[in-house]
Chain A
């Protein structure tokens, strides 16, 4: 019994040490991003990122997001209006700004979107987001 417990403990230590601090931080960022996504984005873009008909563009496999990796945080902050082409479909409904979200919150959402809907690990870290948001006028 004691030896089983010891084995479990060793495995536990191994699992823990397998994750570096950065990885743990990223997992935390994704979890927070998922919650924020549901609150601020999923109404329109839907939980599964599929969008809505020709009204709300999809995020899932969006060629626009693939081609414009840097612009997502700014879009979340400022909103976007005018015509936009996503996966060969034109969308024109304005997306409202989300001025109440902090840089960190925006980073979490953007990281979640890329990971979940584009299967890309593209971490919007603290330092990166500050530069991008400054360019965005925040």
Chain B
């Protein structure tokens, strides 16, 4: 009886393990069914929401658009240099992600400033160097304030706003947003929680195996 229990336990564990390995991450956001004609037949295709078009500058003044990131898995977040609250914790966590995937050509990290008036290219460049980033795999982006707030909300389901009542003058969510090679959002993780960032890295490994 005990033996049966043990073997059942083993089978269950193996099933769970194999499920984890083959786990597919969901695609977040809205989806629409689109009809199209292929070889004379009408088929229904599901179109998933993807990151809307954007154009920002990185800390070296290089223009970064959707095209620059296409084909890469990337993680996005929002911060500002003088942030006294959650940003330093998020940056410590992002640094862990950076260090794990350092040199992996398929992974890019982008941190958007939500205070572009203060966080000039020179300051972002200094920040980038001080974080120990090479500036290519982990980039610090800036652009028009409204465009940054807009992509936070519409592209990454995050909040980024100026709010004079908040410490530091801005309010933003501490999410790390995981985006796949086709620029679909596949997960949002709390960048202030070590366990959640561990999960993000596990999910990044799953995405890396995805075609």
Cβ of B92 and Cβ of A54 under 8 Å apart? no
Do B130 and A55 touch across chains, with their CB atoms under 8 A apart?
yes
Contacting residue for B91 out of A55, A92, A96, CB 8 A: A55
Interface residues in chain A, defined as those with a beta carbon under 8 Å from any beta carbon in chain B: 43-44, 46, 52-56, 92-94, 96
Interface residues on B, range: 10 to 19
- 24 A-B contacts, Cβ less than 8 Å apart? A43-B85, A43-B88, A43-B89, A44-B84, A46-B88, A46-B92, A52-B91, A52-B92, A53-B91, A53-B130, A53-B132, A54-B129, A54-B130, A54-B131, A54-B132, A55-B88, A55-B91, A55-B127, A55-B130, A55-B131, A92-B126, A96-B82, A96-B167, A96-B168
- What A residues does B86 contact at CB under 8 A? 43
Chain B 128-148, CB-CB to A under 8 Å as 1, else 0, gives 011110000000000000000
Mostly helix, strand, loop or mixed at chain B's interface? Answer: helix
CA distance A54 to B126 in the complex (A): 10
Interface residues, chain B, with chain A CB atoms under 8 Å away: 81-82, 84-86, 88-89, 91-92, 95, 126-127, 129-132, 167-168
For residue A36, give the distance in angstroms from its CB to the closest CB of chain B.
Answer: 15
Contact yes or no, A96 B130, CB < 8 A: no
* Closest-CB distance, A42 to chain B (whole angstroms): 9
Docked Cα-Cα span, A52 to B83, in Å, equals: 14
> Given the complex, which residues of A lie within 8 Å of B92, measured CB to CB?
46, 52
Query: In the complex, what residue of chain B is closest to A45 when comparing beta carbons?
Result: B88
Do residues A44 and B88 form an inter-chain contact, with CB atoms below 8 A?
yes
Q: How far, in whole Å, are A93 and B168 apart by their CA atoms in the complex? A: 14
CA distance A28 to B206 in the complex (A): 49
For B86, the closest partner residue in chain A by CB is A43
